[in-house]
Amino acid sequence: MQSASTSISAPAAGSVERDLPMRAILQSGYGSSDVLRLGSTARPAPRAGEVLVKVAAAGIDRGTWHLMTGRPYLMRVMGFGFWRPNNPVAGLDLAGTVVEVGPQVTRFAVGDLVFGIGQGTFAEYARAREDKLTRVPQGLGLEQAAVLAVSGSTALQALDAAELKAGERVLVIGASGGVGSYAVQIAKALGAEVTGVCSASKLEFVRSLGAAHVIDYRSQDFAGGVRRYDVVLDMGGNTPIARLRRCLIETGRVVFIGNEQGGDWTAGFGRQIYASLLGRFVKQRFTSLIAREHFSSFERLAELCAAGQIRPAIDRCITLSEVPEALRALEAGAVKGKIAVVMG
């Protein structure tokens, strides 16, 4: 794991020359990373309730992968664009400097250093709603802040949904990924005993995040009954419900966080639907998480970072031109923690 630095300096704030183009990762349609290309496009203008951010760094995350592939297809029907994405510039996570504020913005001013979720963040400038941003805490590098919002808030909200208590045992399936790497750290900060499930090559990485126990899913059965858990976080997996139940104590809780191995239409949500119905007849509880994009979660993450209780785990920093390759690595499971895209 490459250690994150604070080498990015804050871009100078000032007026934006709208007639000048900006570099960006453009998406022509849905598909593999071949639909992405480095090009130039017009600089966006903030709308009411939005700010324009000069992007210092952005983050690679699963949400961006879904928006690239257009899967599950249900998301196209929900308004993200049927034949091609509504936003031709890819990217969600960002950190940078506010350079312009739109009407009705009250929380930020030009020159503020912010991180959060924007629209089309694999670019030199990006729009973002003010309620999806917060200020970068002191001591946190912009590369680190850029990979915090999407995955960190998902992990935080999953543990909230589980109603985790100090002293409980937590099993994190997919502990080496973006969400999983935060879930391990946050659960430990909340006083839980954490067991992380990942591949053999990532065991030491997950242990370094604070996991008390690590399990190689290829050689060890985490549902073998040797150890039972109060909470299981199922990160994009496809573990049968019966196996998950064997992991749990009688009143245990499972939180489903995505499902990357399901069908093209619904992404395998049938498993979650079955679990929610089953939960009416057993003491164990099953919750499917739909993460909320709001600054309140980002502020809590900033506080945890400032207290030294969590730290964004950056696999590597890349340039804009390397984004397609990074998304291929993410799909192949070849990333530990997060990848930061540095504008330079």
How crowded is residue 250: how many other Cβ atoms within 10 Å of its Cβ? 9
Q: Is the dihedral of CA 171, 175, 179, 181 positive or negative?
A: positive
- pLDDT at position 63 is 80
- pLDDT confidence of residue 5: 44
Q: What are the residues whose beta carbons fall under 8 Å from the beta carbon of 151, sequence distance 6 or more?
A: 59, 61, 93, 177, 178, 179, 181, 182, 338
| pLDDT for res 121 | 97
Report the sign of the C-alpha dihedral through residues 141, 343, 180, 5, in that order. negative
In terms of C-beta density within 10 A (0-12 exposed, 13-18 middle, 19 or more buried), how is residue 305 classed? buried
Residue corresponding to tokens 């290309």:
37
Give the up-direction half-sphere exposure of residue 286: CA atoms within 13 A in the CB hemisphere.
Answer: 21
Backbone angles phi, psi at 230, to 5 degrees: -75, -35
The CB density around residue 99, as the number of other CB atoms within 10 Å, is: 21
What's the alpha-carbon Rg for the chain, to the nearest Å?
A: 20
Give the domains, in start order, of the chain with CATH numbers: 21-148+312-342 (3.90.180.10), 151-288 (3.40.50.720)
Query: From CA 267, how far away is CA 48, in angstroms rounded?
Result: 34
Residue 235 to residue 240: CA distance in whole angstroms: 13
Torsion, Cα 320 55 44 148, to 10 degrees, reads: 90
CA distances from 293 to 69, 95, 99, 152, 321 (A): 21, 15, 22, 11, 27
| β-pairing verdict for 338-342 and 314-318 | parallel
Residue-wise pLDDT tens for the chain (344 aa)?
A: 444 444 465 544 445 666 689 999 999 888 888 889 999 999 999 999 999 999 999 999 988 877 787 655 555 555 555 566 678 899 999 999 999 999 999 999 999 999 999 999 999 999 999 999 999 999 999 999 999 999 999 999 999 999 999 999 999 999 999 999 999 999 999 999 999 999 999 999 999 999 999 999 999 998 887 899 999 999 867 788 889 999 999 999 999 987 555 555 455 566 767 677 777 888 899 988 888 999 999 999 999 999 999 999 999 999 999 999 999 999 899 999 999 999 97
Q: Which two tokens stand for residue 43?
A: 């600089």
pLDDT at 1: 46
Which residue has 């900060």 as its token pair?
189
H and E: helices and strands count for the chain? 10, 15
3-state secondary structure of 101: strand
- In sequence order, the 6+-apart residues with CB closer than 8 A to the CB of 241 are 271, 274, 275, 278, 286
